[in-house]
């Protein structure tokens, strides 16, 4: 075997090992990848029940119902459609109606989402980027009483 052949064999073997390693990492991460949806996205895209995802929008006015213990039911809306969310646990202190929220959990059926974590906005100007983008795309973005077209802007979360 010549020097050139040995070098090419070594490079090919290194690329094969790198490819296998990358494949194993992607395979291990497949269950940890969670996609973001708005309530409208859930209805327009066919998402199978049992799918783990993030749901974001605004907590619908008058929708928060506290059950026994730490059970809470509320609706998340993007001002176009709403989806009912069931959550068991302590809600963030800043969780309230009309505020931005991102929930992570499992879609149980059409119109019902079982959340295992709830994230609320942390100050007057904060809204998760995905929620803000979704509301802006529908022309429903409001900040400080102004729509986005009227010059109202907001700081959104960065990743």
State the pLDDT at residue 19: 96
Q: Which long-range contacts (CB under 8 A, 24 or more apart) does 120-125 make?
A: 120/91, 120/92, 120/93, 120/94, 120/95, 120/96, 121/94, 122/94, 125/154, 125/155
State the pLDDT at residue 127: 60
State the pLDDT at residue 13: 96
Residue 152: strand, helix, or coil: coil
pLDDT in 10s for each residue of the chain, 159 residues: 899 999 999 999 999 999 999 999 888 877 666 778 888 888 888 788 888 888 988 898 999 999 888 899 999 988 888 899 999 999 888 888 888 888 999 988 766 899 999 988 655 455 667 667 777 777 766 655 444 443 444 444 433
The Cα 34–Cα 21 span in angstroms is: 22
């Amino acid at each position: 075997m010549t020097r050139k052949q040995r070098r090419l064999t070594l490079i090919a073997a290194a690329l094969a090992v790198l490819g296998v390693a990358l494949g194993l990492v992607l395979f291990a991460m497949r269950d940890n990848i969670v996609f973001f949806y708005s309530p409208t996205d859930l209805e327009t895209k066919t998402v199978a029940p049992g799918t783990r995802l993030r749901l974001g929008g605004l907590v619908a006015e008058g929708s928060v119902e506290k059950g026994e213990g730490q059970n809470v039911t509320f609706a998340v809306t993007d001002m176009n459609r709403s989806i009912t969310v069931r959550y068991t646990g302590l809600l963030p202190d800043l969780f309230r109606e009309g505020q931005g929220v991102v929930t992570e959990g499992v879609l149980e059926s059409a119109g019902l989402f079982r959340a295992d974590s709830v994230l609320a906005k942390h100050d007057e100007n904060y809204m998760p980027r995905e929620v803000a983008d979704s509301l802006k795309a529908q022309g429903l973005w409001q900040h400080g009483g102004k729509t986005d077209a009227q010059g109202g802007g907001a700081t959104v979360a960065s990743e």
